[in-house]
A and B are shown apart, each in its own frame.
Chain A
Amino acid sequence: MPKVLFIDAAEQHHPLDASVGQSLMQAAVNGGVPGILADCGGNGACGTCHVHVDERWTQRLPPPKASEVELIECLDDASPTSRLCCQIEMRQEYDGLVVRVPAKSS
């Protein structure tokens, strides 16, 4: 089971076990990470599971699809490392992944 680390807006660390095949968002919701609201349940529609991926990991994840990029561009606090964590399907090789939750996930 790959381990992932969410660092929330208050700098609290949330180490979680994620299941291979589930989305990173689902792991965060199951682990009760503050700020990951996931209002659209993983459709990549709402932007409320926005995270900043640690720079050491950005290149190791599959690139976002066009609509994910389009949606991220209109979010507050978007950065070049922004992702919607509902669109990241967990794999064993993501063990050790670190992401940060921005102050306002909207």
Chain B
Amino acid sequence: MSQVLTADDPRYKELFDASKEARELGNEISIDVNPLLNALRDRGSVLKGGLRELLHLPERPGAWDKQHEAWTLTTFSACNRALRENLVFSSHIYHDSPPVRTLGDTILWMTGDEHKRYRAAVQPMFIKPRAINWWKKNWIDAIVDSLVGRLEGMDRADLNFDLCARLPVHTVTRGIGMEGDKALTFRDHLLKAVGVRKVSLAEQATAHAEVERMLRELITERRIQPGDDLVSGLIAADFELADGGTSRLSDEQIMGYCRLIMLAGGGTTWRQLGITIHALLSNYSLWEACRDNRELIEDAIEESARWIPTDPVFPRLVTEEVEVDGQLIPKGVRVDVCMGSANRDPSRWENPDVYDPFREKKSHLGFAIGPHQCLGMNIAKQEMLSALNALMDHFPNLRLDPEAPAPILVGGLEQRGMSAVPVRFR
């Protein structure tokens, strides 16, 4: 097992602080947006103006290099439709996003047949049975064991840094086939390369080159000696071509998948796990209910992603004039699909602002839906399940540290997480 996983490495605080990340990204907000998103939804399902404009927040610097007129979708039905109809509400919007372009060939901005072919090469390694029988068995459980073992020696900790940050970044690093000791070095380079961490252009270029070097080295090794990991799986995958033939994936294509998986897999699960642990510990009867009936944990995770999805808004490009709930949205505009407000739509959920794992199960948009539904969703759920189970096994009386400042939701409009998850173990 990697040394870095359980080390007191200062880079965890540098790379996994939701406030600091948002400040560097230039999109930090200091308000709880949930009531504001609800109010927008109450105004209408289709609103003229981008989400930031409607909330009177400035546009993110450098987010788009082509400015589109923007609209916002707020209800479950409108957002559900937009996410499913990906040819009309197109992911091509990401072509105008400099940060996304740094990922290289990525499924994030593809649509239709191209997206289907690219996704098919990687999807088999992310289906639920693989999450359980491959990811969990090979990596997640062992990483959780080491992390919880480290916590055994402590009276109190901040689970944001000591668990939530560590588990996902090590899972995806090991999962693609890279050594766990490189997890933080790679993430640091990747965040700088993509522009999440603000550095000079020269440093960004260096980081980009380092990301490429580390991935190419891994791919080259695995082409010679395959392992039981994601890069080896991509090397062996039959990639379907537009004409119906098949080929092998190039190094560049494999790097595109890896950058996306490492960026999203190392970030979102970190923040969502903190949100989930905090939701349970601050509604202590729910912690006890899950602890005493572990089958409930899956519902607790699902409900957390409905209640506070870490990423509450995704952009799409309208490719033809389209009517949504009686409103004509013109061709060429950007729509901000606000899953945050959609997931609290009172026409779909009773008492939608309440965190309630016992509520009737209904699909939500916390992992999006449709062709671009989160690729790593099943892995994320297994990571959170394994982590929560281990906490409940080892620390049944885990509680929020009453002496620490109360944790709050922080970060940017586009990515949110807990300020901290301070706990007492006994």
Contacts and interface: CB of A to CB of B under 8 A. Distances in A.
Q: Bound pair: A and B?
A: yes
B128 A42 contact: no
Given A67-B123, A70-B129, A41 B373 contact: yes
Interface string A37-57: 111111111110000000000
Which bucket holds chain B's interface residue count? 10 to 19
A40 B373 contact: yes
A74 B128 contact: yes
B124 A66 contact: yes
A70 B123 contact: no
A39 B369 contact: yes
B120 interface: yes
Interface of A: 37-47, 65-67, 70-71, 73-74
A44 B369 CA distance: 13
B165 to A, nearest CB: 27
A45 B378 CA distance: 10
B373 A46 contact: yes
Contacts of A71: 127-129
Contacts of A74: 128-129
Contacts of B123: 43-45, 67
B273 to A, nearest CB: 22
A41 B129 contact: no
A45 B126 contact: yes
Nearest to B124: A67
Interface of A is mostly: loop
B255 to A, nearest CB: 21
A84 B241 CA distance: 22
Contacts of A66: 124
A39 B302 CA distance: 15
Of A38, A41, A47, chain B has the most CB atoms within 10 Å of the CB of A41
B370 interface: yes
A36 to B, nearest CB: 12
Contacts of B130: 67, 70
Interface in B87-125: 116, 119-120, 123-124
A5 B176 CA distance: 43
Given A42-B116, A42-B371, A43-B120, 14 more contacts: A37-B363, A39-B363, A41-B86, A41-B371, A41-B372, A43-B116, A43-B119, A45-B127, A66-B124, A70-B124, A70-B130, A71-B127, A73-B129, A74-B128
A47 B371 CA distance: 13
B248 interface: no
Nearest to A67: B124
Nearest to B378: A45
B84 interface: yes
Contacts of B84: 38, 41
Contacts of B119: 43
5 contacts: A40-B371, A44-B120, A45-B126, A67-B124, A71-B127
Nearest to B132: A74
Nearest to A66: B124
Nearest to A47: B128
Contacts of A38: 84
Interface string B352-382: 0000000000010000011111000000000
Contacts of A67: 123-124, 127, 130
Nearest first, the 10 A-B pairs at minimum CB distance are A67-B124, A41-B371, A41-B370, A70-B129, A74-B129, A40-B373, A71-B127, A43-B119, A43-B123, A39-B369
B153 to A, nearest CB: 38
A57 to B, nearest CB: 23
Contacts of B128: 47, 71, 74
Contacts of A41: 84, 86, 369-373
Interface string B56-79: 000000000000000000000000
A41 B372 CA distance: 8
